[in-house]
A and B are shown apart, each in its own frame.
Chain A
Amino acid sequence: MGTIFVKDREGIEHKLPAEEGLTIMEIIRDAGLDIEAACGGCCACATCHIYVDENRLKNLEDIKNEEESMLDQAFNVIKGSRLGCQIEFNSKIDGIKLTLAPE
Chain B
Amino acid sequence: MQHKTDIIVIGAGPVGLFAIFELGLLNLQCHVVDNLNKIGGQCTELYPEKPIFDIPSRPRVSAQELVDNLLEQAKPFNPIFHLNQQAEKLERKEDKLWYLTTSDNITICAKCIVIAAGAGSFVPRKLPIENINEFENISVFYSIKDKSLFKNKKVLIAGGGDSALDWTNDLFSMSEITLIHRRKEFRAAPESVSKMLELEQKKKINFIIGQIHSIKGNLGKISEIEYKRDDKIYSLQTDFLLPFYGLKMELGPIAKWGLNLEENRIKVDTEKFETSVPSIFAIGDINTYPGKLKLILSGFHESALMAQKCFYYCYPDKKNIFRYTTSSKDLHKKLGI
Interface residues of A (CB under 8 A from B): 38-40, 42, 44-47, 68-69, 71-77, 102-103
Please give me the residue from chain A that is nearest to B243 by CB atom. A75
Distance of B256 from chain A, by nearest CB (Å): 21
From A46, A47, A71, A103, give the contact of B128 (CB < 8 A): A103
Contact of A42 among B47, B119, B128, B211 (CB under 8 A): B47
Q: Give the docked Cα–Cα distance between A74 and B160 (Å).
A: 11
Contact B182 A44 (CB under 8 A): no
Contact with A along B149-161 (1 / 0, CB 8 A): 0000000000111
Q: For B248, what are the chain A residues with a Cβ–Cβ distance below 8 Å?
A: 38, 45, 47
Within 8 A of A (CB), among B230-283: 245-246, 248-249
CA distance A38 to B249 in the complex (A): 8
Contact B128 A38 (CB under 8 A): no
The chain B residue with its CB closest to the CB of A75 is B128
A45 to B211, CA, bound (A): 18
Q: Whole-angstrom distance from the CB of B203 to the nearest CB of chain A?
A: 25
Judge whether B128 and A73 touch: CB under 8 Å.
no
Query: In the bound complex, do residue B46 and residue A77 qualify as a contact, i.e. CB atoms below 8 Å apart?
Result: no
Q: Are B125 and A38 in contact, CB atoms less than 8 angstroms apart?
A: no
**B332 in contact (CB, < 8 A):** no
Q: Could you tell me if A72 and B182 are in contact, using CB atoms closer than 8 angstroms?
A: yes
**B contact residues around A38 at 8 Å (CB):** 42, 46, 119, 248-249
Interface contacts beyond A40-B294, A71-B182: sample of 7 additional A-B pairs, CB < 8 Å, sorted by A: A38-B249, A39-B47, A72-B160, A72-B181, A73-B245, A75-B128, A76-B211
**Bound form: Cα–Cα A50–B105 in Å:** 40
Residues of A within 8 A of B160 (CB): 72
Q: CB within 8 A of B125: which of A40, A44, A73, A102?
A: A73
What's the dominant secondary structure at chain A's contact region? loop
Cα A72 to Cα B245 in complex, Å, equals 7
B contact residues around A71 at 8 Å (CB): 182
B118: nearest chain-A partner, CB-CB: A38
A39 touches B42 (CB 8 A): yes
Q: How far is the CB of A68 from chain B (nearest CB, A)?
A: 7
Rounded to whole angstroms, the CA-CA distance of A74 and B50 in the bound complex is: 21
Instruction: For the complex, give the distance between the alpha carbons of A42 and B125 in Å.
Output: 19
8 A Cβ contacts from B105-160 to A: 119, 125, 127-128, 159-160
Q: Cβ of B128 and Cβ of A76 under 8 Å apart?
A: yes
Interface size on B, residues (CB 8 A): 23
Chain A residue nearest to B285 (CB atoms) is: A40
Report the minimal beta-carbon distance from B80 to chain A, rounded to whole angstroms: 28
Tell me if B187 is interfacial: C-beta within 8 Å of chain A.
Answer: yes
Complex Cα spacing A74 to B185, Å: 15
A98 CA to B211 CA in the complex, in Å? 22
A99 to B326, CA, bound (A): 54
- A39-B46, A42-B50, A77-B182 as given contacts; A72 in contact with B128, CB under 8 Å: no
The residue on B at minimum CB distance from A69 is B187
Q: Which residue of B lies closest to A40 (CB)?
A: B294
Our pick among A72, A76, A102, A103 for the contact of B161 (Cβ within 8 Å) is A72
A sample of 29 inter-chain contacts (CB < 8 A) reads A38-B119, A38-B248, A38-B249, A39-B42, A39-B47, A44-B50, A45-B46, A45-B246, A45-B248, A46-B246, A68-B183, A68-B185, A69-B185, A69-B187, A71-B182, A72-B160, A72-B181, A72-B182, A72-B186, A72-B245, A73-B125, A73-B161, A73-B246, A74-B245, A75-B127, A76-B128, A77-B211, A102-B128, A103-B128
- For the complex formed, measure the closest distance between the CB of A101 and the CB atoms of chain B, giving whole angstroms: 10
Q: How far is the CA of A15 from the CA of B86 in the complex (A)?
A: 41
CB distance from A38 to the nearest CB of B (A): 6
C-alpha spacing A75/B212, complex, angstroms: 9
Q: Contact at B50–A72, with CB atoms within 8 Å?
A: no
Contacting residues, chain B, for A74 (C-beta < 8 A): 245
User: Would B159 and A72 count as touching, CB distance under 8 A?
Assistant: yes
Residues of A contacting B186 in the complex (Cβ-Cβ under 8 angstroms):
72
Q: Are B161 and A75 in contact (CB under 8 A)?
A: no
